[in-house]
Structures are given as structure tokens and as C-alpha cells.
Amino acid sequence: MQIPKGLAPMVPSTEDALAAERSKAAFKVSDMHQFIVDSDMRTKVAKVEALMGEEPETFSLRKVYFMSRQEKMEHALAIGKRLIELLKEGKLSGDDISIADMVLDINGPFGLHRAMFIPTLQNQATVEQQELFLRPALNYEILGCYAQTEIGHGSNVQGLETTCTYVPETDEFEVHSPSVRACKWWIGSLGVTATHAMVMAQLIVGGKRHGPCPVVVPIRSTVDHQPLEGVTVGDLGP
């Protein structure tokens, strides 16, 4: 049986339907959110959400699940780039960007840079090393990752095979992967975007092993982004 066109039931839009259902709650959603998340953090999150809400095309995640792998990568790069621009414009602080990462929850090229590369430099590097690496890292002149996991050893740090040997004749450290098992594997952003890696390696000085130690290794040119001599790097795929 067909219903005459003029008598067809009115179907509310998705937004109207959701609003109608939410209006039936015996509490304010904002109050519940504040109860679950402390008010100070909620205030910070609200600030970041409001700023990102001004640029829905850049920060929207509605279409992410329908994107190809390449499109997801490009979208994450665009989001990361815009957050850095907002940081440099003074509209977001470093803490705000960490909150934005939490709110967006998208796999991007800057996660390990902020969560592992920079903190390791802040907590373990000398003043001279911080001038060389931390300052440009904070300015996003270099992009770092944290290369610990190896294909043959997972996160068994004591079992890592990559070595970092001090060469007294030239006052240098030689970083070496002695076998296929020692290949750094599953390292976020290493395959495509990072210029530097915080490599966990077995420190060797005077022929004696001193255990795992972090060492900053430049892996790509900051001019043309090509892998440096002696470095083989690539994308693991989807």
C-alpha cells in the first residue's frame, strides 16, 4: 500500500534525532563529561576542540575510515602541519598539541617525535647535544622517531643486536646492524617521514659492552629528504 505523497511521515535528520534523544537525559552531558574528566583538563580540552572546530576541513575525522592508506597518510600530515603552524602562531602551546593528539587519536608522523624523541633528549642529552638536536626538534626543523624494536628481538631491550661502537681514532660512534635480526622494525614514522632516529643500541667502548644506550642517528637529508649514506630505510606497507 502506498501512502499519498502529502501524507508521508516526516523523518528527522540525524542531527535532529540525536538532539531529541540526548534531550531526554536527566543530566547535562557537559556535567557528566566534567564528572568523568577533571574540570581543569576539560577546560584545556574545550580550548583545543574549539580551535580545531574553526577548521573542520583540516581536523575532521568523519571520512578517515573511508580513506585509502595514502589518503590517511596525507590527511595525518596535513593535520600535523597545521598543529605546528598554530604552535608557531602562538595559538597553541606544546601541552595543547599533546591534548590535540589525544583528542584526534589519529596515527600521524609526529607522535613518536613528541612522545619519545623529544623527551629522551630533554632527560638524557647533554647541554651540547640539546643544542644540536633538541632545539631544532622543538622547532620541527628535524623530525625524530624512537628506534628500539628489532625484527628479531621485539622489545627485548637487553637482547638488541644493533651496536654503537666508540672509535677513539676519529672520536666518533659507529652504529651498525650486524644481521637481519637487528633491523629496526615497526618504528612509527621511520619508514617515510623521520629525519633522525633515537636508536637504542649496545654501547661498546674499548671492546667492552656497556648495555643498551640511546644514540641520535641522522637518517635522511634535511635538504632533499633522501636516506643518508649507509642507511637503508623503507615503508613496511599497510
pLDDT for 95-138, tens place per residue?
A: 999 899 989 988 888 989 999 999 999 999 999 999 999 999 99
* 91 vs 80: CA distance, rounded Å: 15
Check whether 200 has a pLDDT greater than 70. Answer: yes
Maximum Cα–Cα distance across the chain: 93
Helical residues (DSSP H) of the chain, grouped into ranges: 14-22, 29-36, 39-53, 56-59, 69-88, 94-104, 111-112, 118-124, 127-129, 135-138
Q: In the predicted model, what is the mean pLDDT of the chain?
A: 91
Give me the mean pLDDT over the 74-99 stretch. 93
| 50 burial level (CB within 10 Å; 0-12, 13-18, 19+) | exposed
52, 97 in Cβ contact below 8 A?
no
**What per-residue confidence (pLDDT) applies to 196?**
98
- Please name the amino acid found at residue 131: E
Check whether 1 has a pLDDT greater than 60. Answer: no
Nearest residue to 146 (alpha-carbon basis) of 94, 108, 182, 111 = 111
**What per-residue confidence (pLDDT) applies to 37?**
72
Cα-Cα end-to-end distance for the chain: 50
**What per-residue confidence (pLDDT) applies to 130?**
97
